């Protein structure tokens, strides 16, 4: 018998060991790729006050691996106790990290490699059933996800840095013009949101709980550059009635008139992408837009952003069986035909790509390509319990942060699933963020931002 995630009653220690090893190795290979292509000056420079120097991330992932695996699980003495404070993300904001006495690149690499060598020895004899912390290899999965999340952060830094391109990857396969309906009806009714049995799910994804969602219509693809350009050409950035007052004030103060990295030149829109300048591709999902920009576009279009619960129902609910899948296409792990993940490409795939990854209702590209803003605040699920530490999720709960779903081309499959929750401030644009829109199937008023509710948090 298998559970709803397609696994047997219990994976063997050898299977868990292989999965943990593969996930840790994939993450470290990507870390090496992102840091070996730059000289020491580029690694120690701060390319934006929003981001750490890359050398900080390089040592931080090693330090966290040491803290959780060698010390917490293995009971080892600290290798470099004097550096713990330097690499504590809550002790030092990103803007001040360049002034810290950080390990230089070569020493950071040696430290991370020494930690990894000892972790591999630990993994050889690891017990996977001693506690909830080690059951199903959770702590190893948590560390692999942490490193992959920092790899995505480092890729964001690569996009922010000035200078020639240093990363290469093939472009996604061309997709036929996006056909089929522009939106689909997601039936109303209850579904199971979140998870209680996904072994490597993080605390904010738990526990599974029923949510009743009213019927709604959802875009079958993310909003494209061409569609967003229509909003721009209609004066969308200059019309306050589409904007939240605080969002409009922010864009006026910052002079925002287009998505990040766009500029108009010679009668066409260009964008800078990882050191190269190119025409904005009309059929790709729009990228590097804030929550305020996404919300304003949706209002201009007579629509709205989906709530987090609506997004997850569209991504996971199977109307034929009534169960919640792990992914839109089913329970199996993502394959190349399902989604654009893992930095396989350095851009979103055209709208309409990956038909094999669509949900039962025909909604595509819910996983990969771009993180999708929702209307919901980042709040705990009923019955939430912080695990294994408050600082991963609990300290961020509240109305300050908005939830993003689905992952981007920069997300590794280990850190992306139908229940995975990301969050950020609504002004953030450096992240690989886009969106799709929704509308209620029941009558509602959608229009100028003043006085219009956002649908609330899930």
Those residues of the chain that have pLDDT short of 50 are 1-9, 450-458
Q: How far is 285 from 225, CA to CA, in rounded Å?
A: 6
Closest CA to 296 of 132, 128, 139, 449: 449
**Encoding tokens for residue 237?**
């950035």
- Between CA 434 and CA 349 the distance in angstroms is 13
Distance, in Å, from the CA atom of 161 to the CA atom of 44, rounded to the nearest integer, reads 12
Residue burial 212-250, b: 16+ Cβ < 10 Å; e: rest: ebeebbbbbbbbbbebbbebbeeebbeebebbbeebbeb
B/e letters for 178-201, b = 16+ CB within 10 Å, e = fewer, are beeeebbebeeeebbbbbeebbbb
Q: What are phi and psi of 181, to 5 degrees?
A: -65, 145
Say if CB 390 and CB 366 are below 8 A apart.
no
Rounded CA-CA distance 427/439 in Å is 23
Residue 399 parent element (H or E): strand 398-405
| pLDDT given for residue 180 in this prediction | 81
* pLDDT given for residue 451 in this prediction: 38
* Segment 59-62 long-range contacts (CB within 8 Å, at least 24 positions apart): 59/83, 59/86, 59/87, 59/102, 59/103, 59/108, 59/111, 59/112, 60/87, 60/89, 60/150, 61/27, 61/31, 61/112, 61/146, 61/147, 61/150, 62/108, 62/111, 62/112, 62/113, 62/115, 62/116
- For each of the domains in the chain, give its residue range(s) and CATH number, in order of start: 13-160 (1.20.120.450), 170-458 (3.90.1580.10)
| 395-441 confidence digits (pLDDT tens) | 999 999 999 999 999 999 999 999 999 999 999 999 999 999 999 99
Q: Please, are residues 284 and 432 in contact by the beta-carbon 8 Å criterion?
A: no
On whether the CB atoms of residues 357 and 329 are closer than 8 A, the answer is yes
- Alpha-helical (H) ranges within 161-282 are 225-233, 245-254
If residue 262 lies in a helix (H) or strand (E), which one and from where to where?
strand 262-265
Tokens of 404: 């993003």
**401 alpha carbon, distance to own chain's centre:** 14
């Amino acid at each position: 018998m298998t559970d709803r995630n397609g696994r047997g009653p219990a994976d063997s220690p050898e299977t868990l060991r292989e999965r943990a090893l593969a996930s840790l190795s994939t993450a470290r290979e990507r870390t090496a790729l992102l840091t070996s292509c730059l000289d020491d000056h580029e690694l120690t420079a701060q390319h934006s006050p929003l981001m750490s120097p890359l050398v900080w991330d390089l040592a931080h992932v090693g330090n966290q691996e040491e803290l959780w695996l060698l010390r917490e699980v293995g009971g080892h003495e600290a290798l470099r106790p004097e550096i713990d404070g330097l690499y504590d993300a809550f002790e030092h904001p990103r803007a001040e990290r360049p002034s810290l006495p950080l390990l230089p690149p070569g020493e950071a690499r040696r430290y991370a490699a020494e930690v990894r060598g000892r972790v591999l020895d630990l993994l050889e004899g690891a017990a996977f059933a001693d506690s909830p912390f080690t059951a199903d290899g959770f702590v190893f999965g948590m560390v692999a996800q942490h490193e992959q999340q920092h790899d995505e952060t480092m890729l964001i830094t690569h996009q922010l840095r000035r200078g020639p391109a240093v990363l290469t990857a093939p472009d996604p396969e061309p997709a036929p013009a996006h056909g089929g309906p522009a939106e689909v009806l997601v039936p109303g009714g209850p579904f199971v949101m979140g998870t209680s049995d996904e072994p490597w799910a993080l605390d904010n994804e738990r526990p599974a709980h029923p949510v009743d969602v009213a019927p709604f219509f959802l875009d079958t693809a993310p909003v494209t550059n061409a569609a967003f350009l229509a909003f721009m050409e209609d004066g969308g950035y200059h019309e306050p009635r589409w904007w939240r007052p605080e969002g409009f004030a922010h864009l006026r103060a910052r002079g925002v008139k287009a998505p990040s990295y766009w500029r108009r030149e010679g009668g066409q829109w260009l964008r800078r992408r990882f050191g190269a300048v190119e025409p904005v591709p009309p059929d790709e999902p729009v990228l590097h837009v804030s929550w305020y920009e996404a919300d304003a576009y949706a209002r201009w279009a007579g629509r709205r952003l989906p709530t987090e619960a609506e997004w997850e129902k569209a991504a996971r609910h199977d109307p034929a069986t009534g169960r919640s899948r792990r992914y839109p296409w089913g329970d199996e792990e993502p394959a190349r035909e399902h989604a654009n993940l893992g930095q396989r490409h350095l851009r979103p795939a055209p709208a309409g790509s990956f038909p094999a990854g669509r949900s039962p209702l025909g909604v595509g590209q819910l996983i990969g390509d771009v993180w999708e803003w929702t209307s919901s605040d980042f709040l705990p699920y009923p019955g939430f319990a912080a695990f294994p530490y408050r600082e991963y999720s609990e300290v961020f709960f509240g109305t300050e942060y908005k939830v993003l779903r689905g992952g981007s081309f920069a997300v590794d499959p280990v850190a992306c699933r139908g229940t995975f929750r990301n969050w950020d401030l609504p002004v953030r644009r450096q992240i690989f963020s886009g969106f799709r829109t929704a509308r209620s199937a029941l009558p509602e008023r959608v229009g100028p931002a003043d006085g219009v509710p956002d649908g609330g948090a899930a």
